[in-house]
Amino acid sequence: MELIRGLHNLRPHHRGCVLTIGKFDGVHKGHQAVLASVIEKARALSLPATVMVFEPQPEEVFSPETAPARLSTLREKYVQLKALGVDRLICVRFNRHFASQSADAFVHDLLVDKLGVKFLVVGDDFRFGRGREGDFSMLTHAGEQYQFDVVSTQSFQVNDCRISSTAIRQLLAAGEFAKAAVMLGRRFSISGKVVHGEKKGRTIGFPTANVLLKRFRTPIKGVFAVTVSIGKDTYHGVANVGSRPTVAGKRTQLEVHVFNYSGSLYGQTIIVCPEFKIRDEIKFASFEALKEQIERDAEQARQAFT
């Protein structure tokens, strides 16, 4: 799958595509159904199946304080879209300047001139351009003018419940990982590169691999029993997603202690899948008290895994 980061990297040979535009946060079962129809159409027309996403997601630019938690980073979306058979991912750097262009300019300059779109799939509530002035009916008219077809996606359900990123976030926040997995079409996981921390974990017998969360907010918080994928190997472990108040941590990060593992993880990408929640994060009076609690957390997780 080709990744085009930024519209300035579009070239004349990129013209001609079957396109869908959206956030695709989570790449859930509803998204997967849309993508399957995009791919089918693309194969029939011998054109690349193309997905356009915005990074950061628009609400993260307009209202970062209240933007919903992210299910997927751009990298996770890349991995998931590639696995589904998408040919090209266009990542638009979203900022106020991009958002201020008119709906006409979005259609004419980008969709028609730069992308030469032949078939477009969007949700019927898709809005675009300055002040969200562009809508589905405008796209339909533009399609008649510039010879491209536009179709809207339906909403997909499981057990009478509409599949949505919002519903999945709520299930994850409630620790309902099995139900979230039904909507996602896979288990929820957080992946990222292991970075250096404060090297305190090893002093209490609990080295913890620190993963920086490139999300504005995470859908889960607290201490979890987890499954960890490191390369082709799978381990169990305990993890904390939080700001580490005991050591006056600032930003939210993921810390994983991997059972039966020794060696360096720095620089490696690991995938952490929460199995069940153990407790909320707490501020302990001392590092010693934190250590004793982590021992109990690890024991609880180990017992569940045996």
Ligand X SMILES: Cc1cc2nc3c(=O)[nH]c(=O)nc-3n(C[C@H](O)[C@H](O)[C@H](O)COP(=O)(O)O)c2cc1C
Ligand Y SMILES: Nc1ncnc2c1ncn2[C@@H]1O[C@H](COP(=O)(O)OP(=O)(O)O)[C@@H](O)[C@H]1O
Which residue ranges make up the site for ligand X (CB under 6 A)? 197-201, 206, 208, 210, 223, 238, 240, 244-247, 255, 257, 281-283, 290, 294, 297
Q: Does 198 bind ligand Y (CB under 6 A)?
A: yes
How many residues touch ligand Y (CB under 6 A)?
20
Question: To the nearest whole angstrom, how small is the minimum distance from the Cβ of residue 207 to ligand X?
Answer: 7
DSSP string for residues in 135-192: -HHHHHHHHHHHT-EEEEE---EETTEE--HHHHHHHHHTT-HHHHHHHHTS---EEE
Q: Which amino acid is at 3?
A: L
Q: Does 266 bind ligand Y (CB under 6 A)?
A: yes
* Residues 251-280 as b or e (16 or more Cβ within 10 Å = b): ebbbbbbbeebeeebeeeebbbbbbebbee
Candidate segments 12-20, 172-180, 253-261, 297-305, binder of ligand Y by CB under 6 A:
253-261
Residue of 32, 92, 88, 28 lying closest to 57 (CA atoms): 92
Binding at 282: pick from ligand Y, ligand X, none (beta carbon under 5-8 Å per type): ligand X
**Are 38 and 49 in contact, with CB atoms under 8 Å apart?**
yes
Binding at 297: pick from ligand Y, ligand X, none (beta carbon under 5-8 Å per type): ligand X
Q: Does 209 bind ligand Y (CB under 6 A)?
A: yes
Question: To the nearest whole angstrom, how small is the minimum distance from the Cβ of residue 194 to ligand Y?
Answer: 5
Which residues are at the interface with ligand Y (CB under 6 A)?
A: 194, 196-199, 201-202, 207-210, 256-258, 261-266
